[in-house]
Amino acid sequence: MSIIKEQYEQYVAQLQKIQDLNSTLALLHWDNEVNAPSKGASLRGQQIATLSATVHEWATSSELGELLLHLNANRQALSENEAKNVELSLAIFNKEKKLPIKFVTAFSKAKTKAFQAWLNARKAKDYTLYKNELRVMVDLLKEKARLIGYKEHPYDALIDEFEKGATVAQLDILFGAVRQQLVAFAKEIKVKGQPSEKAFLNRHYDKQKQWDFGIELLTQMGYDFEAGRQDLSEHPFTTTFSSKDVRITTRIEENTPLEMIGSCIHEGGHALYEMGLPSKQYGLPLGMATSLGIHESQSRLWENQVGLSLAYWKVNFPRMQERFPEALEGITVEQFYKAINQLEPNYIRTIADEIHYHLHVLIRYEIEKGLMDGTYDVENLDLVWNKKYKDFLGLEVPDATKGILQDVHWAEGLFGYFPTYSLGSFYAAQFYSKAKEDLPNLEEEIAKGNMTPLLEWLRYHIHQHGQKYTSEELCQRITGEGLNLSYFMAYAREKYAVIYEFETKHYSVENPN
Amino acid sequence: MSIIKEQYEQYVAQLQKIQDLNSTLALLHWDNEVNAPSKGASLRGQQIATLSATVHEWATSSELGELLLHLNANRQALSENEAKNVELSLAIFNKEKKLPIKFVTAFSKAKTKAFQAWLNARKAKDYTLYKNELRVMVDLLKEKARLIGYKEHPYDALIDEFEKGATVAQLDILFGAVRQQLVAFAKEIKVKGQPSEKAFLNRHYDKQKQWDFGIELLTQMGYDFEAGRQDLSEHPFTTTFSSKDVRITTRIEENTPLEMIGSCIHEGGHALYEMGLPSKQYGLPLGMATSLGIHESQSRLWENQVGLSLAYWKVNFPRMQERFPEALEGITVEQFYKAINQLEPNYIRTIADEIHYHLHVLIRYEIEKGLMDGTYDVENLDLVWNKKYKDFLGLEVPDATKGILQDVHWAEGLFGYFPTYSLGSFYAAQFYSKAKEDLPNLEEEIAKGNMTPLLEWLRYHIHQHGQKYTSEELCQRITGEGLNLSYFMAYAREKYAVIYEFETKHYSVENPN
């Protein structure tokens, strides 16, 4: 082996050690959500803080830094993929290096405290119990933005962590269009549309049978239960210990089976991406998801383009009806399809429909941006929240748990994360449009319960690459253009015109460039 | 704060960081047994290896070493407990220092491989599939003994890790007496005793109802479900992430409810010890169990002295009968008590009765000792095993899973662990004898379902001290003498004379000193 190859192997070993700790941290978090007894929380927080600090120490060691600089200077002796790994690792190293260990530890501790305060505030339905910890968190996030640095807006520094290269300047344009087009579209449907009967969706659905049905749907998608498992938790999520152990969670309520179904398919979509990453690249950038936007494109594509389609329910509705003969007695697949696709504003993001969902994201985007640049303050943020729900969705928020306390993200220090939910949905529509073009029989196969062609298409075009391409590069490679909201709008108009039985001129995709 | 106190705080912080990693390692192992999907095993092994190496690195850092030496030299400025912590930490540090990181990593990897081979060998009922990995393990254990050092027998170096100060010289005497007295006792009962009807113990017992009954028994003992949880696993075990999160597992078979009950009470006993350790001493010697022998004394005392007593079943048998009315129809508590206390040789250690159990341990003790000093070799060890079962228990081992492959310990590199099972039982008999003396109403309270007096006695005399006293010191403090097998023999004779309805002269405890 040449010296440079040996040094590359050293780099791989160091990155994999860091990944070992990160995977272990993920297990600590997963266990907290799924298993941990209440009294263990505070020492568990300390354990997480110790591991986080160690990850940071290893990820910013001068030994690793020198190795990366040296390898980067000798890129010509490496393969294309090796060089890409080094280039990306160096960028991460340089960014991580900007955060002193003191900050990392304080941030980790603040998360544990904020999470606990958020839980207590939810229990008491009282935002004021959370306010102080949220303020600490926002101050730390401002400091983080300062430490990392930014060109135009402090929020840019945070968004970049989840969606490389995305900025307030770009997102303002995108969300401006979202607001204009989606609010108009929702209004149009309200005026012209005929709502469908959907009360049967809230009948009694046995919990164990729901669980079994969820497992069946996941198996059909291609989720590998020998390389993962599903559990129950308060909020559904996906977590990865390696591409051979990707776990998901769901929640089950007796009268809302669609929540369970939606979360299984959504988290299943995330998990398929993680399971499809190249396991040989464990711990290296090419073994990791390229961005949260692309991650969300995978979950959303399965959840919406597939899981809310007529083709999907052609095969799965009879199976569901077999499991729940009483609740679904006399219902046809067409009735079911229309019922699950009704549009209705609601104050809870996670159960929002495909259209209103993006107004929820928009509200959070504006608040995060405003907190970062000083437009808003934590003090009366619940009032700001409620006013936006009135303005954008026409809703009165009944209490804080259905308002500002509904999401865990801020308690976990995740600012800049929400916009990726919308980006993901728009990427999903664009990718799916291309997949249908590439696979003319796609929906027929889905209607037969055969998800393999779609999964293979996603594996080939997206999963196998890891971080080799950025979101935008990936989108260019696959669809021949960057992200374009028109695909989503065309998908929505075409779909809801049928569901709400109103005429629509055929919308072609406009190229905004 | 004085400088020395500040340095003590530094030491505490370093030890707690090490504990954070050790607790995390415990979680990785727990998750492996309880949750992990099969394909994730190999990368999980790598994650465990990375954390193990890091623990070793931290536990042997020169920074910690200097701090310990300095604190130890200035003991007079510390409190008694602080000084004890430092003294014990220094001893552990010096021992750990003898193991180079290369050895620690090799050992960790060998464990993962041996465990996998053991699983495969069990599946195929074929010892030869395990032999090579076991040989690697034995060679590593010999190297470990050499590295640590010993005075008389290489096995001493390994036993010391689980039972400080115990040696082959001492254990040979103890197990000599065990063999002589227990074999004679078992024979005596075989000749004189009247076996009881016990077929009803193998009737159908619904799994879910067994689970519920186990939870009831644990709650009655004082196991705190807000600081722990029970799960299912292949082999029951207890694991500790902190004294506020102590988890146990059990297994349930439809026709053997006593296995589930026994494991709940046994693991519950371990867990109560861990939950009773002082949480302020998290990560420090005074916050840890003093030895495996004492740990086992806690589990065995609950399992045998309490869980196999007539008093215990006076309160719990009616409850059990209520849950399983068909299986236990027409059975009296006295019949049940006799049935669960029948003595019968069996080739499986974990379901052995209170008397034969120690012959199982003796066999393992002799084999481990023989492997370490070259008397035995891994090559045909299954034959050695089978011959000893014939000689000591009069049994033909039907196949390797019921023979040499029945225990996981060797695959996990645990040599010197088995003897602590017997030590624990003998300590348990001695402690319980003293508890009954201190608490004259003890068995009446137990018969009412009130376990609090016993738990408080154990907390006061044992749990709260952590490693402040060694096993022998603890035994001296509590009972006024060192470990004395006579207490166990007196307990056994008194109990089984009633159960087997034969005359016995009253056995007083002999003082062997």
Find chain B residues with C-beta within 8 A of A225's C-beta: 37
pLDDT tens column, B172-210: 999 999 999 998 998 888 888 778 899 999 999 999 999
User: Nearest CA of chain B to the CA of A415: how many Å?
Assistant: 28
pLDDT score, position A187: 87
> A239 — phi, psi (to 5°)?
-140, 150
In a domain, A512, yes or no: no
In a domain, A49, yes or no: yes
pLDDT score, position B510: 54
Contacts of A382 (CB under 8 A, 6+ apart): A127, A400, A403, A404
Question: Is residue B245 less than 8 Å (CB to CB) from chain A?
Answer: yes
Q: Which of B17, B28, B224 sits opposite A24 (nearest CB)?
A: B28
pLDDT tens column, A176-185: 999 999 989 9
**If you count residue pairs, one on A and one on B, with CB atoms under 8 Å apart, how many are there?**
100
User: Within chain A, what is the greatest distance between any pair of CA atoms?
Assistant: 72
Helix (H, G, I), strand (E, B) or coil at A232: strand
pLDDT tens column, B203-216: 999 999 999 999 99
Same domain? For A93 and A233 the reply is no
Is the Cβ pair B245, A27 closer than 8 Å? no
B98 with B70: CB under 8 angstroms? Answer: no
Same domain? For B93 and B220 the reply is no
pLDDT tens column, B123-159: 999 999 999 999 999 999 999 999 999 999 999 999 9
Beta-bridge partners for B245: B242
Nearest alpha-carbon partner for B293 in B485, B179, B423: B423
Same domain? For B86 and B182 the reply is no
pLDDT score, position A412: 92
Element (H, E) at A295: helix A292-300
Is the Cβ pair B44, A20 closer than 8 Å? no
Find chain B residues with C-beta within 8 A of A280's C-beta: none
A395 with A347: CB under 8 angstroms? Answer: yes
Is the Cβ pair A20, B224 closer than 8 Å? no
Beta-bridge partners for B231: B249
Q: Which of B40, B47, B50 sits opposite A227 (nearest CB)?
A: B40
Same domain? For B227 and B351 the reply is yes
Is the Cβ pair B44, A229 closer than 8 Å? no
Average pLDDT value for chain B: 94
Cα–Cα dist B138/B432, whole Å: 37
Same domain? For A88 and A174 the reply is no
Nearest alpha-carbon partner for B340 in B502, B191, B201, B207: B201
Nearest alpha-carbon partner for A472 in A216, A71, A174, A228: A174
Same domain? For B90 and B194 the reply is no
Beta-bridge partners for A245: A242
A422 with A358: CB under 8 angstroms? Answer: yes
Find chain A residues with C-beta within 8 A of B51's C-beta: 20-21, 24
Question: Is residue B464 less than 8 Å (CB to CB) from chain A?
Answer: no
Mean pLDDT of B497-508: 71
Is the Cβ pair A227, B39 closer than 8 Å? yes
Same domain? For B92 and B175 the reply is no
User: Given B97, B112, B128, which residue is the final one in a domain?
Assistant: B97
Residue B105: pLDDT band with limits 50, 70, 90: confident
Helices (H) and strands (E) in chain B, counts: 20, 3
Q: Which of B24, B228, B244 sits opposite A24 (nearest CB)?
A: B24
pLDDT score, position B81: 97
Same domain? For A71 and A198 the reply is no
Q: Which of A43, A225, A226 sits opposite B282 (nearest CB)?
A: A43
Find chain B residues with C-beta within 8 A of A233's C-beta: none
Cα–Cα dist A403/A384, whole Å: 10
DSSP annotation string for B198-259:
-GGGGS---HHHHHHHHHHHHHHHT--TTS--EEE-SS--EEEEETTEEEEEE---TT-HHH
Is the Cβ pair B37, A282 closer than 8 Å? no
Contacts of A311 (CB under 8 A, 6+ apart): A443, A444, A446, A447
User: Given A97, A116, A145, which residue is the final one in a domain?
Assistant: A97
Provide the domain limits for residue A318.
168-499
Phi/psi region, residue A480 (left: phi>0; alpha: psi -120 to 50; beta: rest), is: left
pLDDT score, position A513: 40
Same domain? For B82 and B207 the reply is no
Beta-bridge partners for B248: B230, B238
Find chain B residues with C-beta within 8 A of A244's C-beta: 37, 39-40, 42-43
Cα–Cα dist B42/B63, whole Å: 33
Is the Cβ pair B31, A28 closer than 8 Å? no
User: Nearest CA of chain A to the CA of B208: how many Å?
Assistant: 15
Judged on CB neighbours under 10 Å (0-12, 13-18, 19+), A318 is: exposed
Same domain? For A92 and A217 the reply is no
Cα–Cα dist A172/A185, whole Å: 19
Cα–Cα dist A145/A159, whole Å: 10
CATH of the domain at A346: 1.10.1370.30
What are the residue ranges of helices labelled H in A301-380?
310-323, 333-340, 357-373
A150 is written with which tokens?
Answer: 């930014």
Q: Which of A37, A44, A51 sits opposite B226 (nearest CB)?
A: A37
User: Given B66, B81, B97, which residue is the final one in a domain?
Assistant: B97
Total residues belonging to chain A: 513
Same domain? For A322 and A444 the reply is yes
B302 with B266: CB under 8 angstroms? Answer: yes
pLDDT tens column, B294-347: 999 999 999 999 999 999 999 999 999 999 999 999 999 999 999 999 999 999
Question: Is residue A191 less than 8 Å (CB to CB) from chain B?
Answer: no
Same domain? For B185 and B318 the reply is yes
Return the sign of the alpha-carbon dihedral for residues B50, B52, B55, B59: negative
pLDDT tens column, B341-368: 999 999 999 889 999 999 999 999 999 9
Find chain B residues with C-beta within 8 A of A28's C-beta: 24, 27
Q: DSSP code of B342?
A: -
User: Nearest CA of chain B to the CA of A53: how many Å?
Assistant: 10
Q: Which of A16, A35, A42 sits opposite B229 (nearest CB)?
A: A35
| CA separation, residue A301 to residues A250, A276, A308, A339, B220 (Å) | 18, 16, 10, 20, 51
Nearest alpha-carbon partner for A386 in A357, A406, A369, A371: A406
pLDDT score, position B445: 98
Question: Is residue B38 less than 8 Å (CB to CB) from chain A?
Answer: yes
Find chain A residues with C-beta within 8 A of B230's C-beta: none
- pTM: predicted TM-score of the whole model, two decimal places: 0.90
Q: How many domains does chain B have?
A: 2
Find chain B residues with C-beta within 8 A of A241's C-beta: 40, 43-44, 47
The percentage of chain A sitting over the pLDDT mark of 70, rounded to a whole number, equals 98
In a domain, A116, yes or no: no
What's the distance, CA A406 to chain centroid?
Answer: 16
Is the Cβ pair A37, B241 closer than 8 Å? no
User: Nearest CA of chain A to the CA of B36: how many Å?
Assistant: 8
Q: What is the pLDDT along chain A (513 residues), one digit of tens a residue?
A: 689 999 999 999 999 999 999 999 999 999 988 898 888 887 888 899 899 999 999 999 999 999 999 999 999 999 999 999 999 999 999 999 999 989 988 998 899 889 889 999 999 999 999 999 999 999 999 999 999 999 999 999 999 999 999 999 999 999 999 999 998 998 888 888 778 899 999 999 999 999 999 999 999 999 999 999 999 998 899 999 999 999 999 999 999 999 999 999 999 999 999 999 999 999 999 999 999 999 999 999 999 999 999 999 999 999 999 999 999 999 999 999 999 999 999 999 988 999 999 999 999 999 999 999 999 999 999 999 999 999 999 999 999 999 999 999 999 999 999 999 999 999 999 999 999 999 999 999 999 999 999 999 999 999 999 999 999 999 999 999 999 999 999 999 999 999 998 766 555 555 544
Q: DSSP code of A249?
A: E
Strand-by-strand arrangement of the A245-250 sheet: A230-232, A245-250, A238-242
Tell which B residues from 211 to 240 touch A, by Cβ distance under 8 Å: 224-229
Catalytic residue among B82, B133, B163, B267: B267
Beta-bridge partners for A246: A240
In a domain, A510, yes or no: no
Question: Is residue B91 less than 8 Å (CB to CB) from chain A?
Answer: no
Is the Cβ pair B43, A282 closer than 8 Å? yes
Let me know if B267 is a catalytic residue: yes
